[in-house]
Each structure stands twice: as C-alpha cells, then as structure tokens.
Amino acid sequence: MTDTPGKQLLHLVFGGELTSLESNEFKDLTNLDIVGVFPNYASAHAAWKAKAQATVDNAQMRYFIVHLHRLLDPQQG
C-alpha cells in the first residue's frame, strides 16, 4: 500500500495475547499493548514489524495495523 505524499493517513498499531491461534479474541483486554498512532502506513508497518519480531517466541501474541483514516472517512477509503 502506498500513501499519498503529504497526506495524513492515520494508522493504529496494537496487539496482545490471543485466546487461541484460530481466533482474533484477546485473552485480557486490560493488557493490550497500544504501540501508537502513526501518520502513514510505512511508519505503522515498521512499528508493527518491530513488535511482531520482538514477540516471535510467543505464538499467541499478535499485533495488528488498523487503518484509522478509513474509519474516520469511509468515503475516502
């Protein structure tokens, strides 16, 4: 995915331990790791990759990128 230069496209990176490998349900919502909000996909992906690699020993730990700009303005997509 490429971002338009100079355009702010917010992305949220977060993660936590899942209840099972077959679902996206978290074991404990109070222990979610909110990595941060990033101004573009490239920086969000870099943060996601760093966190995912740091937790590679825990198979149930997962990190996600949420395209906040799509939620804020669904028409723009």
Domain count across the chain:
1
For position 62, which CATH number holds?
3.30.70.2400
For the chain, percent of residues with pLDDT exceeding 90: 78
9-37 pLDDT per residue, tens: 999 999 999 999 999 999 999 999 999 99
Parent domain of 63: 11-20+34-72
Length of the chain: 77
Per the domain annotation, does 25 fall within a domain? no
Encode burial over 32-52: b for 16+ CB neighbours within 10 A, e otherwise.
Answer: eeebeebebbeebeebbeebe
Per the domain annotation, does 59 fall within a domain? yes
- What pLDDT is recorded for position 38? 97
Give yes or no for a contact between 68 and 8, defined as CB atoms under 8 angstroms apart.
Answer: no
Please, which pLDDT band fits residue 75 given cuts at 50, 70 and 90? Answer: confident
- Decide if pLDDT at 47 tops 60: yes
Q: What is the mean pLDDT of the chain?
A: 91
Angle at 23 between CA 21 and CA 24, to 5 degrees: 110
